[in-house]
């Protein structure tokens, strides 16, 4: 009787393992009309942002060697080099009026009024990683270097180039987003911060177990954060509390390395990372689908979604365009 019971337990265990492997297997899909876009460079493309369906901006470069600023006027099918700066550019974005902004190494800050050339107006010794401008009068830049020397710079309230407040933190800060004009959120090496009153008061939130690389709020209350060791965080109360919806491997074993994410609704979003990683979720990040047709020998660094199209950029001059 004991042997029969043990045999049944072994059989049930094998069945459980098979079922677990089946359900854990990530579903894969292919998006239609994938294009590898021609872009006149072989350096890394670090960030992309579409102002409207036709006009967009991008930036990139090589650390301590060169920085490039790009634009497109045909929906991202072709890109041109607008300007070259002396060090790598890390982040580009545009406000609702189409006014674009870019930041990078050596404290380089640039702006591009819609339809006009880029203007370089600030440089110092900080390594800026991200910026978010509510409008041409006010915004925040985050920075850091060698995993330390974190800074938050509040600009405005009159002009982007007018530095108002500098806040210093022990760890590098990597990404920033505004859930509304007065509430800002930033993340970095073991830090998640929430700023109120336009950036003048702040609170550190509880997640600490990853190098958090990107943050995005599709609505004023729902937001997501990804980490370089595979962590995913979610908030539904405008960053007052964050829930871990996927636990990464902060030390060993290392899980998927995530670089950037974008959600076009509370539930539907996309995630990119090392080795051509490209995932999609339709249920708020609880399960993910692998998107095929991505090159596996490059790292995907940023993703932007607008009106049924996805723009993805990465290392070695990679720019991809997908139709949903």
CB-based burial, 276-293: b 16+ in 10 Å, e otherwise: bbbbbbeebbeebeebee
Q: What percent of the chain has pLDDT over 70?
A: 87
Distance of CA 170 to the CA centre of its chain: 22
Q: Which of 273, 275, 295, 271 is nearest to 284 (CA)?
A: 271
CA distance 249 to 246: 10
Rounded mean pLDDT of 203-216? 94
Task: Report whether pLDDT(2) > 60.
Answer: no
pLDDT in tens, 135-185: 777 889 999 998 888 999 887 766 656 667 888 999 999 999 999 988 999
User: Considering just the CA atoms, what is the radius of gyration of the chain in Å?
Assistant: 21
Mind listing the domains of the chain with CATH numbers? Answer: 29-323 (2.130.10.10)
Rounded mean pLDDT of 28-34? 72
* pLDDT on residue 254: 57
Q: Mention every residue, 6+ apart, whose C-beta is less than 8 A from residue 23.
A: none
Q: How much is the pTM?
A: 0.88
Q: From start to end of 42-182, where are the E strands?
A: 44-50, 56-62, 66-72, 80-85, 89-94, 100-104, 109-112, 119-122, 128-135, 138-145, 148-155, 163-171, 173-180
* pLDDT on residue 255: 65
Q: Which of 225, 244, 239, 149 is nearest to 195 (CA)?
A: 239
* pLDDT on residue 160: 59
* pLDDT on residue 159: 61
The tokens of 253 are what?
A: 């074993």
Q: Mention every residue, 6+ apart, whose C-beta is less than 8 A from residue 297.
A: 275, 276
First-to-last alpha carbon distance for the chain, in angstroms, is 58
CA distance 305 to 295: 19
CA distance 316 to 54: 24
Task: Report whether pLDDT(200) > 90.
Answer: no
Rounded mean pLDDT of 8-16? 45
Provide the residue count of the chain: 324
């Amino acid at each position: 009787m004991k042997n029969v019971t043990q045999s049944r337990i072994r059989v049930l265990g094998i069945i459980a393992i098979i079922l677990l492997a089946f359900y854990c297997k990530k579903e894969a899909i292919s998006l239609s009309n994938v294009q590898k876009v021609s872009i006149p460079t072989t350096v890394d493309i670090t960030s992309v942002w579409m102002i409207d369906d036709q006009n967009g901006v991008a930036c990139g470069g090589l650390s301590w060697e060169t920085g490039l600023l790009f634009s497109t006027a045909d929906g991202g099918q072709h890109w041109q080099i607008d300007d070259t700066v002396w060090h790598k550019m890390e982040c580009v974005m545009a406000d609702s009026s189409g006014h674009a902004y870019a930041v990078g190494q050596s404290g380089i800050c640039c702006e591009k009024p819609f339809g006009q050339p880029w203007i370089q107006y600030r440089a110092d010794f900080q390594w800026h990683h991200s910026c978010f401008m509510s409008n041409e009068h006010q915004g925040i830049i985050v920075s850091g270097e060698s995993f330390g020397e974190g800074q938050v710079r509040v600009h405005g309230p009159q002009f982007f180039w007018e530095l108002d407040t500098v806040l210093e933190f022990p760890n590098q800060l990597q990404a920033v987003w505004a859930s509304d004009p007065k509430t800002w959120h930033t993340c970095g090496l073991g830090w998640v911060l929430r700023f109120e009153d336009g950036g003048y008061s702040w609170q550190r939130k509880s997640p600490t177990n990853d190098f958090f690389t990107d943050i995005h709020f599709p609505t004023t209350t729902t937001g997501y954060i990804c980490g370089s060791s595979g962590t995913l965080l979610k908030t539904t109360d405008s960053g007052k509390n964050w829930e871990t919806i996927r636990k990464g491997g902060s030390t060993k074993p290392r899980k998927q390395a995530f670089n950037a994410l974008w959600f076009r609704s509370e539930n539907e979003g996309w995630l990119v990372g090392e080795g051509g990683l490209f995932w999609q979720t339709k249920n708020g990040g609880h399960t993910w689908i692998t998107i095929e047709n991505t090159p596996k020998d490059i790292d995907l660094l940023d993703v932007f979604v607008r009106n049924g199209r996805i723009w993805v950029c990465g290392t070695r001059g990679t720019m991809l365009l997908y139709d949903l």
